Amino acid sequence: MYGIHVTVNCGMEEAEQRTLEALKAEGFGVLTEIDVKAVLKKKIDVDRKPYKILGACNPVLANKALIEEPDLGLLLPCNVVIREEEDGSTTVAIVDPESMFTVVDKPAMAEMAKEVREKFDRIMAAIEG
């Protein structure tokens, strides 16, 4: 698995609000937001259910990681997906840093990925309520 997922019985707006609050509580901010539904409609006239990608970053951890591995910016920010399901529920998924950082062969990065994973687990638990 390359992602951590939770599904909540609420709409996109509430799920996104829960996600933003949970990210903030763990020191993450959102650097980018892509409304995939809107982009696909505009670019190729495709209708799809709501789907957003948030680029989340914890500046303290990002700085620490970039000091250790300058090219790690290729894997940043950490993507968070919020998507509406067919049944009206909403899935929130976040990249698994332990899976993602396996491409960096440094023990310090493995330890940092574990720390980030613990934060992401708390974030997902907060979103779930």
Q: How many domains would you assign to the chain?
A: 1
Tens digit of pLDDT for each residue in 40-79?
999 999 999 999 999 999 999 999 999 999 999 999 999 9
* pLDDT value, residue 104: 86
Using pLDDT thresholds of 50, 70 and 90, give the confidence band for residue 34.
very high
Q: What is the CATH number of the domain that holds 24?
A: 3.30.310.70
pTM of the model: 0.93
Which DSSP string do the residues of 17-77 spell out, in sequence order?
A: HHHHHHHHHTT-EEEEEEEHHHHHHHHH------EEEEEEE-HHHHHHHHHH-GGGGGG-S
Burial class (CB in 10 A: 0-12, 13-18, 19+), 103: exposed
Q: Is the pLDDT of residue 108 over 90?
A: no
Average pLDDT, the chain: 95
Domain that residue 70 falls in: 3-128
